Amino acid sequence: MALETDFERHAMPLEYPFGIARGTTTERDVVTVRIEDDDAVGVGGAAPASHYGETVETVTAVLPDLLAVVEETGDPHRLERIEREMRETVRRNPAARCAVSIALHDLAAKRLDVPLYRYWGLDPGETLETSYTIGLDDTETMREKTETALERDYGTLKVKLGTDRDLEIVEAIRSVAPDVRLFVDANEAWAPKEAVRKIERLAEYDLAFVEQPVPAENPEGLRYVSERSPLPIAADESCVTLEDIPRIADRCDIANLKLMKCGGLLEAKRMIHAARAHGLEVMLGCMTESNASIAAACHLAPLLDYADLDGSLLLADDPYDGVPMPGGRIDLAGLERPGTGAVRE
**pLDDT tens digits along 265-305:** 999 999 999 999 999 999 999 999 999 999 999 999 999 99
Tell me the whole-structure pTM to 2 decimals.
0.97
Name the percent of the chain lying above pLDDT 90: 98
Q: Quick one: pLDDT at residue 181?
A: 98
Name the percent of the chain lying above pLDDT 70: 100
Q: What is the pLDDT of residues 212-269, one digit of tens each?
A: 999 999 999 999 999 999 999 999 999 999 999 999 999 999 999 999 999 999 999 9
Query: How far apart (Å, rounded) are the C-alpha atoms in residues 10 and 253?
Result: 36
Which DSSP category does 317 fall into? -
Q: What is the pLDDT of residues 178-215, one digit of tens each?
A: 999 999 999 999 999 999 999 999 999 999 999 999 99
Q: Quick one: pLDDT at residue 166?
A: 98
Compare 127 and 134 and report the one with higher pLDDT: 134
Q: What is the pLDDT of residues 132-167, one digit of tens each?
A: 999 999 999 999 999 999 999 999 999 999 999 999
The domain segmentation of the chain, as residue ranges, is 4-113, 118-344
Q: Quick one: pLDDT at residue 54?
A: 96
Helix (H) or strand (E) holding 291: helix 291-298
Measured between alpha carbons, how far is residue 61 from residues 8, 33, 48, 195 in Å?
12, 13, 13, 40
The average pLDDT across 42-68 equals 97
Q: Quick one: pLDDT at residue 4?
A: 96
- pLDDT category at 1 given cuts 50, 70, 90 is low
- Indicate the CATH number for domain 118-344: 3.20.20.120
Query: How far apart (Å, rounded) are the C-alpha atoms in residues 330 and 337?
Result: 15
Q: Per-residue DSSP letters for 192-252? A: HHHHHHHHHHHGGG--SEEE--S-TT-HHHHHHHHHH-SS-EEESTT--STTHHHHHTTT-
Q: Quick one: pLDDT at residue 128?
A: 94
Measured between alpha carbons, how far is residue 220 from residues 191, 225, 239 in Å?
11, 9, 14
Q: Above 90 in pLDDT, residue 2?
A: no
Q: Above 70 in pLDDT, residue 41?
A: yes
Q: Quick one: pLDDT at residue 91?
A: 87
Closest CA to 287 of 21, 18, 6: 18
177 near 159, Cβ under 8 Å?
A: no
The average pLDDT across 303-310 equals 98
Q: Quick one: pLDDT at residue 251?
A: 97
Task: Please name every residue paired with 41 in a beta bridge, in sequence order, or none if there are none.
Answer: 36
The average pLDDT across 74-99 equals 96
Q: Above 80 in pLDDT, residue 15?
A: yes
Rounding to the nearest 10 degrees, give the CA dihedral for residues 250, 256, 261, 263.
90
Q: Quick one: pLDDT at residue 49?
A: 93
CATH 3.30.390.10 is right for the domain spanning 4-113: yes
